Structure 1
Amino acid sequence: MRKWLAVLLSGYVIAGVACAAGPVSENRPVAPQAYAGLGIGLVDYSGGGSKASPKLFGGYEFTNKLAIEAGGVDFKKGYGMYIAVKPTIPLSEKLSVYGKVGVAKSRREIVLPAAPAIKKSDTGAYGAFGLQYSVTPNTAITAEYERFGKKKDAGAKEDVWTLALKFFF
Protein backbone atom coordinates (compact mmCIF):
# COMPACT_ATOMS: atom_id res chain seq x y z
CA MET A 1 0.00 0.00 0.00
CA ARG A 2 2.82 2.43 0.82
CA LYS A 3 4.49 1.86 -2.57
CA TRP A 4 1.18 2.43 -4.37
CA LEU A 5 0.64 5.66 -2.42
CA ALA A 6 4.20 6.84 -3.14
CA VAL A 7 3.72 6.30 -6.89
CA LEU A 8 0.39 8.15 -6.82
CA LEU A 9 1.82 11.10 -4.90
CA SER A 10 4.82 11.28 -7.25
CA GLY A 11 2.41 11.52 -10.17
CA TYR A 12 0.63 14.44 -8.53
CA VAL A 13 3.91 16.27 -7.93
CA ILE A 14 4.77 15.86 -11.63
CA ALA A 15 1.26 17.06 -12.57
CA GLY A 16 1.68 20.10 -10.31
CA VAL A 17 4.96 21.00 -11.98
CA ALA A 18 3.34 20.63 -15.41
CA CYS A 19 0.42 22.86 -14.35
CA ALA A 20 2.84 25.54 -13.19
CA ALA A 21 4.66 25.45 -16.54
CA GLY A 22 1.79 27.18 -18.34
CA PRO A 23 -0.75 26.23 -21.00
CA VAL A 24 -0.14 23.60 -23.67
CA SER A 25 -2.02 23.84 -26.95
CA GLU A 26 -5.03 21.54 -27.01
CA ASN A 27 -7.97 21.18 -29.36
CA ARG A 28 -10.46 21.84 -26.53
CA PRO A 29 -11.09 25.27 -25.06
CA VAL A 30 -9.17 26.15 -21.87
CA ALA A 31 -12.24 27.89 -20.40
CA PRO A 32 -13.88 26.15 -17.42
CA GLN A 33 -16.45 23.55 -18.46
CA ALA A 34 -18.53 20.70 -17.11
CA TYR A 35 -18.41 17.13 -18.39
CA ALA A 36 -20.24 13.84 -17.97
CA GLY A 37 -19.57 10.35 -19.17
CA LEU A 38 -20.45 6.71 -19.12
CA GLY A 39 -18.32 3.66 -19.38
CA ILE A 40 -17.84 -0.02 -18.81
CA GLY A 41 -15.71 -1.17 -15.89
CA LEU A 42 -14.11 -4.61 -15.67
CA VAL A 43 -14.60 -5.70 -12.05
CA ASP A 44 -12.90 -8.78 -10.56
CA TYR A 45 -14.82 -10.91 -8.08
CA SER A 46 -13.35 -13.17 -5.39
CA GLY A 47 -13.59 -16.71 -6.74
CA GLY A 48 -15.76 -15.66 -9.67
CA GLY A 49 -13.69 -14.11 -12.45
CA SER A 50 -14.36 -10.71 -14.01
CA LYS A 51 -17.62 -9.06 -15.04
CA ALA A 52 -18.45 -5.90 -16.98
CA SER A 53 -20.18 -3.22 -14.91
CA PRO A 54 -21.59 0.19 -15.89
CA LYS A 55 -19.95 3.42 -14.69
CA LEU A 56 -21.37 6.96 -14.63
CA PHE A 57 -19.32 10.05 -13.80
CA GLY A 58 -19.32 13.80 -14.09
CA GLY A 59 -17.07 16.66 -13.23
CA TYR A 60 -15.97 20.23 -13.71
CA GLU A 61 -12.71 21.30 -15.37
CA PHE A 62 -11.35 24.53 -13.94
CA THR A 63 -8.58 24.47 -16.60
CA ASN A 64 -7.45 21.82 -19.07
CA LYS A 65 -5.08 20.64 -16.31
CA LEU A 66 -7.26 20.54 -13.17
CA ALA A 67 -10.74 19.15 -12.50
CA ILE A 68 -12.93 17.72 -9.77
CA GLU A 69 -14.90 14.55 -10.52
CA ALA A 70 -17.51 12.30 -8.92
CA GLY A 71 -18.81 8.98 -10.15
CA GLY A 72 -20.00 5.50 -9.41
CA VAL A 73 -19.59 1.90 -10.57
CA ASP A 74 -22.27 -0.77 -10.23
CA PHE A 75 -20.68 -3.89 -8.70
CA LYS A 76 -23.83 -5.95 -9.50
CA LYS A 77 -24.23 -6.84 -5.81
CA GLY A 78 -23.13 -3.50 -4.48
CA TYR A 79 -21.56 -0.27 -5.71
CA GLY A 80 -18.52 1.98 -5.52
CA MET A 81 -18.82 5.80 -5.48
CA TYR A 82 -16.07 8.42 -5.38
CA ILE A 83 -15.22 12.11 -5.40
CA ALA A 84 -11.73 13.13 -6.47
CA VAL A 85 -9.37 15.87 -7.61
CA LYS A 86 -8.07 15.19 -11.14
CA PRO A 87 -4.83 16.80 -12.40
CA THR A 88 -4.09 16.27 -16.12
CA ILE A 89 -0.90 16.52 -18.17
CA PRO A 90 -1.49 17.14 -21.91
CA LEU A 91 0.97 15.08 -23.97
CA SER A 92 -0.19 16.38 -27.37
CA GLU A 93 -3.16 18.23 -28.84
CA LYS A 94 -5.41 15.18 -28.45
CA LEU A 95 -3.74 12.89 -25.91
CA SER A 96 -3.34 13.50 -22.18
CA VAL A 97 -2.53 11.50 -19.06
CA TYR A 98 -4.27 12.07 -15.74
CA GLY A 99 -4.51 10.91 -12.17
CA LYS A 100 -7.23 11.11 -9.54
CA VAL A 101 -7.08 11.10 -5.75
CA GLY A 102 -10.04 11.29 -3.42
CA VAL A 103 -12.44 9.37 -1.22
CA ALA A 104 -14.48 6.26 -2.12
CA LYS A 105 -17.55 4.68 -0.52
CA SER A 106 -18.08 1.00 -1.35
CA ARG A 107 -20.84 -1.47 -0.53
CA ARG A 108 -20.76 -5.16 -1.32
CA GLU A 109 -23.33 -7.87 -0.81
CA ILE A 110 -21.85 -11.31 -0.26
CA VAL A 111 -24.20 -14.23 -0.88
CA LEU A 112 -23.18 -17.54 0.66
CA PRO A 113 -25.01 -20.84 0.06
CA ALA A 114 -27.63 -21.62 2.75
CA ALA A 115 -26.96 -18.35 4.62
CA PRO A 116 -28.41 -14.85 4.61
CA ALA A 117 -26.64 -12.23 2.47
CA ILE A 118 -23.89 -10.26 4.21
CA LYS A 119 -23.62 -6.54 3.40
CA LYS A 120 -20.29 -4.80 3.94
CA SER A 121 -19.64 -1.07 3.52
CA ASP A 122 -16.45 0.92 3.81
CA THR A 123 -15.08 4.37 3.15
CA GLY A 124 -11.48 4.74 2.10
CA ALA A 125 -8.98 6.26 -0.29
CA TYR A 126 -9.71 6.42 -4.00
CA GLY A 127 -7.02 6.64 -6.65
CA ALA A 128 -6.88 6.30 -10.42
CA PHE A 129 -4.70 7.02 -13.43
CA GLY A 130 -5.47 6.91 -17.11
CA LEU A 131 -5.24 8.21 -20.66
CA GLN A 132 -7.66 10.49 -22.47
CA TYR A 133 -7.91 10.87 -26.26
CA SER A 134 -9.96 13.82 -27.58
CA VAL A 135 -11.98 12.62 -30.57
CA THR A 136 -13.65 16.00 -31.14
CA PRO A 137 -13.48 19.27 -29.16
CA ASN A 138 -16.47 18.08 -27.07
CA THR A 139 -15.94 14.29 -26.93
CA ALA A 140 -13.15 12.13 -25.53
CA ILE A 141 -12.39 8.46 -24.89
CA THR A 142 -10.74 7.48 -21.60
CA ALA A 143 -9.05 4.30 -20.39
CA GLU A 144 -8.18 4.08 -16.71
CA TYR A 145 -7.30 1.96 -13.72
CA GLU A 146 -9.21 2.75 -10.51
CA ARG A 147 -8.81 1.55 -6.93
CA PHE A 148 -11.75 1.75 -4.51
CA GLY A 149 -10.33 1.62 -0.99
CA LYS A 150 -8.64 -1.27 0.82
CA LYS A 151 -8.30 -4.91 -0.16
CA LYS A 152 -11.60 -6.80 0.05
CA ASP A 153 -11.91 -10.37 1.36
CA ALA A 154 -15.06 -11.27 -0.58
CA GLY A 155 -17.38 -9.91 -3.23
CA ALA A 156 -16.23 -7.34 -5.80
CA LYS A 157 -12.53 -6.57 -5.49
CA GLU A 158 -11.20 -3.02 -5.14
CA ASP A 159 -9.48 -2.78 -8.58
CA VAL A 160 -11.45 -1.69 -11.66
CA TRP A 161 -10.32 -1.16 -15.29
CA THR A 162 -12.61 1.24 -17.14
CA LEU A 163 -13.17 2.33 -20.75
CA ALA A 164 -15.45 5.37 -21.06
CA LEU A 165 -16.87 8.01 -23.38
CA LYS A 166 -16.77 11.57 -22.02
CA PHE A 167 -18.82 14.58 -23.19
CA PHE A 168 -17.98 18.26 -22.49
CA PHE A 169 -20.68 20.95 -22.14
Structure 2
Amino acid sequence: MKKILTALIVSATAFGGVSAAYAADEVGPYAGVGVVSSKHKYSLSNDTSNGDRSSTEWSGKIFGGYQLNKNLAVEGGYTDFGSSDYNYTVGGANGHVDSKSHAFYLAGKGSVPINQQLSVFGKLGVAYNKNEVHGTGLATPYVTGDNNRTNLYASVGGEYALNEKVSLSLEYEHYGKNGIDQGRKKGAVSLGARYNF
Protein backbone atom coordinates (compact mmCIF):
# COMPACT_ATOMS: atom_id res chain seq x y z
CA MET A 1 0.00 0.00 0.00
CA LYS A 2 2.80 2.43 0.84
CA LYS A 3 4.32 1.81 -2.60
CA ILE A 4 1.02 2.63 -4.32
CA LEU A 5 0.57 5.86 -2.35
CA THR A 6 4.18 6.89 -2.98
CA ALA A 7 3.82 6.22 -6.72
CA LEU A 8 0.60 8.26 -6.80
CA ILE A 9 2.19 11.28 -5.11
CA VAL A 10 5.40 11.07 -7.16
CA SER A 11 3.37 10.90 -10.38
CA ALA A 12 1.31 13.91 -9.36
CA THR A 13 4.34 16.04 -8.53
CA ALA A 14 6.12 14.94 -11.71
CA PHE A 15 3.25 16.32 -13.78
CA GLY A 16 3.16 19.66 -12.10
CA GLY A 17 5.99 20.21 -9.62
CA VAL A 18 5.47 21.52 -6.11
CA SER A 19 5.37 25.23 -6.74
CA ALA A 20 2.84 27.72 -5.38
CA ALA A 21 -0.54 25.99 -5.30
CA TYR A 22 -3.94 27.27 -6.39
CA ALA A 23 -7.43 25.91 -5.94
CA ALA A 24 -8.81 24.71 -9.28
CA ASP A 25 -10.88 27.57 -10.71
CA GLU A 26 -10.03 27.20 -14.39
CA VAL A 27 -12.78 26.11 -16.77
CA GLY A 28 -11.83 23.01 -18.72
CA PRO A 29 -11.33 19.25 -18.70
CA TYR A 30 -9.49 17.19 -16.10
CA ALA A 31 -8.53 13.54 -15.57
CA GLY A 32 -7.23 11.49 -12.69
CA VAL A 33 -6.45 8.17 -11.07
CA GLY A 34 -7.04 6.87 -7.58
CA VAL A 35 -6.44 4.14 -5.03
CA VAL A 36 -9.65 2.63 -3.61
CA SER A 37 -10.24 0.84 -0.30
CA SER A 38 -13.52 -1.08 -0.03
CA LYS A 39 -15.03 -3.51 2.47
CA HIS A 40 -16.00 -7.01 1.33
CA LYS A 41 -18.22 -9.25 3.47
CA TYR A 42 -19.92 -12.64 3.15
CA SER A 43 -23.04 -13.60 5.07
CA LEU A 44 -24.31 -17.13 4.47
CA SER A 45 -27.24 -18.73 6.29
CA ASN A 46 -26.30 -21.65 8.57
CA ASP A 47 -22.57 -21.05 8.10
CA THR A 48 -20.73 -22.80 10.95
CA SER A 49 -17.15 -22.09 9.86
CA ASN A 50 -14.89 -19.85 11.92
CA GLY A 51 -13.34 -18.08 8.94
CA ASP A 52 -12.96 -14.33 8.49
CA ARG A 53 -16.11 -13.23 6.69
CA SER A 54 -14.97 -9.66 6.02
CA SER A 55 -11.90 -8.05 4.50
CA THR A 56 -10.62 -4.73 3.17
CA GLU A 57 -9.60 -4.85 -0.49
CA TRP A 58 -7.38 -2.34 -2.30
CA SER A 59 -7.93 -1.51 -5.96
CA GLY A 60 -8.08 1.51 -8.26
CA LYS A 61 -10.16 3.96 -10.26
CA ILE A 62 -9.88 6.33 -13.20
CA PHE A 63 -12.02 9.43 -13.63
CA GLY A 64 -12.43 12.51 -15.76
CA GLY A 65 -14.62 15.55 -15.92
CA TYR A 66 -15.19 19.10 -17.00
CA GLN A 67 -14.79 22.05 -14.62
CA LEU A 68 -17.61 24.51 -15.41
CA ASN A 69 -16.38 27.12 -12.88
CA LYS A 70 -14.61 27.09 -9.50
CA ASN A 71 -17.70 25.64 -7.80
CA LEU A 72 -19.25 23.24 -10.33
CA ALA A 73 -18.07 20.31 -12.44
CA VAL A 74 -19.45 17.22 -14.15
CA GLU A 75 -17.49 14.00 -13.54
CA GLY A 76 -17.58 10.36 -14.63
CA GLY A 77 -15.40 7.42 -13.72
CA TYR A 78 -14.74 3.70 -13.50
CA THR A 79 -13.99 2.01 -10.14
CA ASP A 80 -12.63 -1.51 -9.74
CA PHE A 81 -13.44 -2.85 -6.27
CA GLY A 82 -11.15 -5.84 -6.63
CA SER A 83 -12.02 -9.40 -5.73
CA SER A 84 -12.33 -11.45 -2.56
CA ASP A 85 -13.24 -14.99 -1.50
CA TYR A 86 -14.46 -16.97 1.49
CA ASN A 87 -14.44 -20.64 2.54
CA TYR A 88 -17.52 -21.74 4.46
CA THR A 89 -19.17 -24.78 6.06
CA VAL A 90 -22.92 -25.44 5.84
CA GLY A 91 -24.47 -28.66 7.13
CA GLY A 92 -21.05 -30.20 7.66
CA ALA A 93 -20.11 -29.68 3.98
CA ASN A 94 -17.37 -27.29 2.89
CA GLY A 95 -17.84 -24.72 0.16
CA HIS A 96 -16.17 -21.71 -1.44
CA VAL A 97 -17.56 -18.39 -2.66
CA ASP A 98 -15.77 -15.51 -4.43
CA SER A 99 -16.79 -12.18 -5.90
CA LYS A 100 -15.50 -9.54 -8.27
CA SER A 101 -17.14 -6.15 -8.74
CA HIS A 102 -16.77 -2.79 -10.44
CA ALA A 103 -18.85 0.31 -11.20
CA PHE A 104 -19.24 3.23 -13.57
CA TYR A 105 -20.54 6.55 -12.25
CA LEU A 106 -21.67 9.94 -13.58
CA ALA A 107 -22.21 12.83 -11.19
CA GLY A 108 -22.38 16.55 -10.67
CA LYS A 109 -19.68 17.93 -8.38
CA GLY A 110 -19.99 20.99 -6.15
CA SER A 111 -16.90 22.49 -4.50
CA VAL A 112 -16.43 25.14 -1.81
CA PRO A 113 -12.94 26.69 -1.53
CA ILE A 114 -11.55 26.97 2.01
CA ASN A 115 -8.41 28.84 0.96
CA GLN A 116 -6.15 29.11 -2.10
CA GLN A 117 -5.15 25.43 -1.89
CA LEU A 118 -7.86 23.54 -0.03
CA SER A 119 -11.50 22.91 -0.94
CA VAL A 120 -14.27 20.55 0.16
CA PHE A 121 -16.66 18.94 -2.28
CA GLY A 122 -19.68 16.73 -2.72
CA LYS A 123 -20.83 14.68 -5.69
CA LEU A 124 -24.29 13.37 -6.56
CA GLY A 125 -25.31 11.20 -9.48
CA VAL A 126 -25.85 7.59 -10.55
CA ALA A 127 -23.68 4.47 -10.43
CA TYR A 128 -23.99 1.36 -12.58
CA ASN A 129 -22.70 -1.55 -10.47
CA LYS A 130 -21.72 -5.02 -11.61
CA ASN A 131 -21.17 -7.83 -9.10
CA GLU A 132 -20.14 -11.36 -10.10
CA VAL A 133 -20.36 -14.03 -7.39
CA HIS A 134 -19.33 -17.66 -7.97
CA GLY A 135 -19.04 -20.58 -5.61
CA THR A 136 -19.14 -24.24 -4.76
CA GLY A 137 -20.97 -26.19 -2.05
CA LEU A 138 -24.49 -26.25 -0.60
CA ALA A 139 -24.96 -22.47 -0.43
CA THR A 140 -24.09 -21.92 -4.11
CA PRO A 141 -27.67 -21.69 -5.47
CA TYR A 142 -28.59 -19.00 -2.93
CA VAL A 143 -25.61 -16.65 -2.99
CA THR A 144 -24.12 -16.74 -6.51
CA GLY A 145 -24.86 -15.07 -9.82
CA ASP A 146 -24.01 -12.14 -12.07
CA ASN A 147 -25.95 -8.99 -11.24
CA ASN A 148 -26.05 -5.44 -12.64
CA ARG A 149 -27.74 -2.66 -10.73
CA THR A 150 -28.13 1.12 -11.05
CA ASN A 151 -28.05 3.08 -7.78
CA LEU A 152 -27.71 6.55 -6.37
CA TYR A 153 -24.05 7.66 -6.24
CA ALA A 154 -22.86 10.23 -3.69
CA SER A 155 -19.53 11.29 -2.21
CA VAL A 156 -17.98 13.84 0.15
CA GLY A 157 -14.33 14.77 0.36
CA GLY A 158 -11.55 17.30 0.30
CA GLU A 159 -9.10 18.39 -2.38
CA TYR A 160 -5.65 19.92 -1.98
CA ALA A 161 -4.08 21.76 -4.93
CA LEU A 162 -0.33 21.25 -5.32
CA ASN A 163 -0.30 23.85 -8.11
CA GLU A 164 -2.56 25.14 -10.91
CA LYS A 165 -2.53 21.78 -12.69
CA VAL A 166 -2.29 19.04 -10.06
CA SER A 167 -4.34 18.29 -6.95
CA LEU A 168 -4.82 15.41 -4.52
CA SER A 169 -8.17 14.34 -3.07
CA LEU A 170 -9.49 12.12 -0.31
CA GLU A 171 -13.16 11.10 -0.34
CA TYR A 172 -15.80 8.67 0.84
CA GLU A 173 -17.93 7.34 -2.02
CA HIS A 174 -21.33 5.63 -1.75
CA TYR A 175 -22.13 3.42 -4.76
CA GLY A 176 -25.24 1.71 -3.41
CA LYS A 177 -26.04 -1.94 -2.78
CA ASN A 178 -25.32 -4.85 -5.08
CA GLY A 179 -28.16 -7.01 -6.36
CA ILE A 180 -26.37 -9.98 -4.77
CA ASP A 181 -25.51 -9.07 -1.19
CA GLN A 182 -22.18 -10.94 -1.05
CA GLY A 183 -18.71 -9.50 -1.53
CA ARG A 184 -18.34 -5.74 -1.95
CA LYS A 185 -20.37 -3.49 0.32
CA LYS A 186 -21.84 -0.15 -0.76
CA GLY A 187 -19.11 2.32 0.28
CA ALA A 188 -15.44 2.99 -0.52
CA VAL A 189 -12.67 5.40 0.45
CA SER A 190 -10.44 6.72 -2.32
CA LEU A 191 -7.26 8.77 -2.60
CA GLY A 192 -6.93 10.42 -5.99
CA ALA A 193 -4.58 12.55 -8.07
CA ARG A 194 -6.10 14.94 -10.62
CA TYR A 195 -4.56 16.79 -13.57
CA ASN A 196 -6.23 19.88 -15.08
CA PHE A 197 -5.65 20.29 -18.82
TM over 0.5: yes
Measured on the aligned residues, the alpha-carbon RMSD in Å equals 1.8
Give 1:69-84 correspondences, 5 Å limit: 69-76=75-82, 77-84=100-107
Residue 28 of structure 1 deviates from its aligned partner by: 4.8
The number of equivalent residue pairs is: 144
Answering whether residue 189 of structure 2 is matched by residue 161 of structure 1, we say: yes
Query: Aligned AA for 1:65?
Result: N
Residue 81 of structure 1 deviates from its aligned partner by: 1.0
Answering whether residue 145 of structure 2 is matched by residue 139 of structure 1, we say: no
Query: Aligned AA for 1:49?
Result: S
Residue 118 of structure 1 deviates from its aligned partner by: 1.3
Partner of 1:67: 73
Partner of 1:53: 59
- Gapped regions of structure 1 (runs ≥ 5): 1-25
Aligned-partner Cα distance in 2 for 1:129–1:28: 17
Residue 113 of structure 1 deviates from its aligned partner by: 2.4
What are the superposed Cα offsets for residues 72-121 of structure 1, whole Å, 9 maximum, x if unpaired?
11122121110000000000000000000000000111122244851111
- Gapped regions of structure 2 (runs ≥ 5): 1-20, 42-52, 83-99
Partner of 2:112: 89
Structure 1 residues 29 and 142: alpha-carbon distance in aligned structure 2, compared to 1, 3 A threshold: closer
Larger relative CO (CA 8 A, sep 6+): 1 or 2? 2
Which residue, 135, 160, 163 being the options, matches 1:112? 135
TM superposition score normalised by structure 1: 0.79
Query: Aligned AA for 2:22?
Result: N
Query: Aligned AA for 1:140?
Result: S
Aligned-partner Cα distance in 1 for 2:193–2:61: 10
TM superposition score normalised by structure 2: 0.69
Aligned-partner Cα distance in 1 for 2:60–2:167: 18
Aligned-partner Cα distance in 1 for 2:162–2:105: 26
Partner of 2:13: none
Q: Which structure is larger by alpha-carbon Rg, 1 or 2?
A: 2
Aligned-partner Cα distance in 1 for 2:24–2:81: 35
Decide whether the 8 Å contact of 1:28 with 1:138 is kept in 2: no
Aligned-partner Cα distance in 2 for 1:28–1:34: 15
Structure 1 residues 29 and 158: alpha-carbon distance in aligned structure 2, compared to 1, 3 A threshold: closer
